[in-house]
Amino acid sequence: MSLPDIFQRYRNDIDSELLCVFEGLRLPFYDMLRYHLGWIDENGHPTSQSNGKALRSTLCLLACESISGGYKKALPAAAALELVHNFSLIHDDIQDNDRERRHRPTVWVVYGIPQAINAGTAMRVLANVSMMRLREQGVPENRILEALQLLDQSSLRLIEGQHLDLSFEKRQQVGINEYLNMIELKTVSLISCALALGAMLVAEKPEVILPFLKYGNNLGFAFQIRDDVLGIWGDEKVTGKPAGSDILRRKKSYPIVFAWEHSTTAERKELSTLYQDAEMNGNGRDHVLEILERTGARLQAQELIGRYCGQALSEIEGAPLDSNSRLSFQELVHFLDIREF
């Protein structure tokens, strides 16, 4: 399985824009951020690591291009989205005690927790620095302020969601609605922000922006639930994360939440005993996998992903898009529906 072409279309421009944001930042401090972005290795030597799919920036530029025929105007916003996303990854890795990301040690493992906290926060501030470059793209000042406001609000939602996600790990039971609310904050809001940003920089009318926002909303839910599936059943070699890792760290991801709601009293008792065992190991994980299988959690998760994908497709059906853009929006949905990484 390969990435749809649309991820390649903007890649070089996104990377160049990110490089511009870092221009002039010469203190050794910024090595941590460059390391996280995959530009240098632990010793400061240039590398060319994968730094992710750049989903959010791609969505932003596609929305912009599909409305206006060009995407350069939105590049500072696209880079800002990557910076917000990556700030959250640096802090998440500390909070989740994750030692590896994209097949490399995480920032806190290399530089220590105190400095990794600094790296994450600076990455978040740099997102706003990037947004200021919209002035040079001729975006009107009131539009820039609105875009900044949207990005700041989405960042707050993301942090609120991360707070909930962490607090769920300490609870025995989480309802499906609570779970959906949490991922709406943690993941969906930045993804729909990405599409709204790309649109609002070149369009004023709410009725032009709205379909993108709604498409992003559905895509965001699909994306996160697929992420949950991969966090349990994904192939370590492809995802870069150990198999079943979400179980071992007691994440209340969709399959777990579903299984709890659809299990027998006996199964719930088993689940709760397994989750209370501070030393849960591979055997415990396999036992949880068994219960997930029995309750049909995997199939149900995929079914829900499919529903969100269907909704995303129908949201853009009515939008006045050229055939290339439409195809790209559709390909994105089909990829996120079944992605393995």
Sites of contact with its own copies (CB under 8 A)? 27, 29, 87, 91, 94-96, 113-115, 117-118, 120-122, 124-126, 128-129, 132, 135, 141-142, 144-145, 148-149, 152-153, 155-156, 159-160, 162-164, 166-167
d(CA 240, CA 248): 16
The amino acid sitting at 260 is: W
- Smallest gap from Cβ 88 to its own copies, in A, equals 9
d(CA 157, CA 160): 5
Closest CA to 6 of 227, 327, 315: 327
- Smallest gap from Cβ 205 to its own copies, in A, equals 21
**Closer residue to its own copies in complex, CB, 114/318:** 114
CB 111 within 8 A of CB 155: no
CB 187 within 8 A of CB 223: yes
- Smallest gap from Cβ 296 to its own copies, in A, equals 33
**Closer residue to its own copies in complex, CB, 163/287:** 163
**Closer residue to its own copies in complex, CB, 114/206:** 114
Q: CB under 8 Å to 335, separation ≥6 — which residues?
A: 3, 4
**Closer residue to its own copies in complex, CB, 85/339:** 85
For tokens 């890649």, name the residue.
Answer: 11
The amino acid sitting at 104 is: R
**Closer residue to its own copies in complex, CB, 196/219:** 196
- Smallest gap from Cβ 162 to its own copies, in A, equals 6
- Smallest gap from Cβ 11 to its own copies, in A, equals 27
**Would you give the end-to-end CA distance of the chain in angstroms?**
9
